Amino acid sequence: MMILFQLLYLNCSRGWEQCSIHKQAAYMKRCTQTTPDTCCHLPPELITLATVLLPTSHLFHEVLSSEDALDELELQYWESGPPFSQPEPADTVQESQFTTNLTHVFFGQKLCLENQAKARWKWRYVAGDGEKVIMELQTAAAQAFREWVRVNNCMAECTARRHREMANNLLQWHAWIVYSYYQEVGTLERGENPY
């Protein structure tokens, strides 16, 4: 099983794209059933990024608690990942603070949307649709893993500080999704309620 994962990981851009969504979900399901410590099959750098704490600032919590309080204009440029088309901003203290604020807003918005998705999965799980929830989590984890690999492969192209930091944020977010979904599927398959 570990050899298969390494082959897919090493040839991810070709290997993952050629697999169907169903095969990817089945693979994630097999991986989550192998041991109680399911995250041992994930790349160590992904686990390291996934376990970095999210911001705790007032701005982060404000965005997290209310998606209406957010102007998403600046965020849309960073969603697709590197290479970024925005010009390199000047390397000033103000730009550095803007990038920090942008990071907090980015994570706040992502976590707000994630909490909404988890609420939907919880409702469906409680309604007895656990198998479909597991399949959706596996599919979403496989997609997030592909995105993590893609962004990771593009990191060298990010030369401007803001571009590098936002690419790192995307990398961390995808890692967090893969890691948390991986754990959630394992919990569900053990018959426990992660919600």
pLDDT digits (tens, 9 = 90+) for 138-173: 999 999 999 999 999 999 889 888 999 999 999 999
Predicted local confidence at residue 71, as pLDDT? 59
The reported pTM is 0.77
CA distances from residue 116 to 2, 8, 62, 120, 173 in whole angstroms, order as listed = 33, 31, 16, 6, 16
Of 67, 85, 108, 64, give the one whose Cα is nearest residue 162.
85
Question: Looking at residues 128-147, what average pLDDT do you find?
Answer: 96
CA distances from residue 134 to 130, 131, 183 in whole angstroms, order as listed = 6, 5, 11
Question: Looking at residues 174-183, what average pLDDT do you find?
Answer: 96
Predicted local confidence at residue 39, as pLDDT? 54
Please state the domain extents for the chain: 2-189
Say what the alpha-carbon torsion angle 95, 97, 100, 106 is, to the nearest 10 degrees.
Answer: -70
pLDDT digits (tens, 9 = 90+) for 52-79: 999 999 999 999 998 665 556 577 788 8
Higher pLDDT pick, 190 / 28: 190
Predicted local confidence at residue 41, as pLDDT? 84
Give me the chain's average pLDDT, please.
Answer: 81
pLDDT band at 115 (very low <50, low <70, confident <90, very high): very high
Cα-to-chain-centroid distance, residue 32: 17
Which residue blocks in the chain are alpha helix, DSSP H? 2-10, 12-18, 21-32, 44-50, 58-65, 93-126, 130-154, 161-189
Question: Mutual orientation of helices 130-154 and 93-126 as an angle, nearest 10°?
Answer: 160
pLDDT band at 87 (very low <50, low <70, confident <90, very high): confident
